[in-house]
Amino acid sequence: MDVSGLSETEQTVLLALVGLLARADGRLSETEMNTLDELRRVLTAERFGEVRDRAAALADDEAILTAARAVTRPEAREAIFGVLYEMSIPDTLDPSEVVILEKVAALWGLEAPLAE
């Protein structure tokens, strides 16, 4: 997961979407915790804290999806969606997580590789 090349806005959207997905089913899985730990390692603890605070300032799900619209670079969209997808797949996908992944994929014109 190489997210260090993402812009500040893209990193904020990434952490906001990771948080949204992690909260979707009401529990934080080991895979989700590992994803957050990996992001903290890649971004450095200080940078992670700054980005996390900006992501937490987004008021609700709609604010997060609105912020996601600002991510326009295809490679950033693919990198962010890849993190979300990889975070979700090891666990059993909750229907609420599927909805989020499908919304993000539709927003960015990506195909959500999810089983029907």
Tokens 């952490």 correspond to: 15
pLDDT at 4: 83
Tokens 């979707």 correspond to: 24
For the 8-108 domain, the top CATH level (class) is mainly alpha
Residues of the chain with pLDDT under 50: 1, 116
Q: Where are the domains of the chain?
A: 8-108
pTM (2 decimals)? 0.91
**Cβ contact 102:112 at 8 Å:** yes
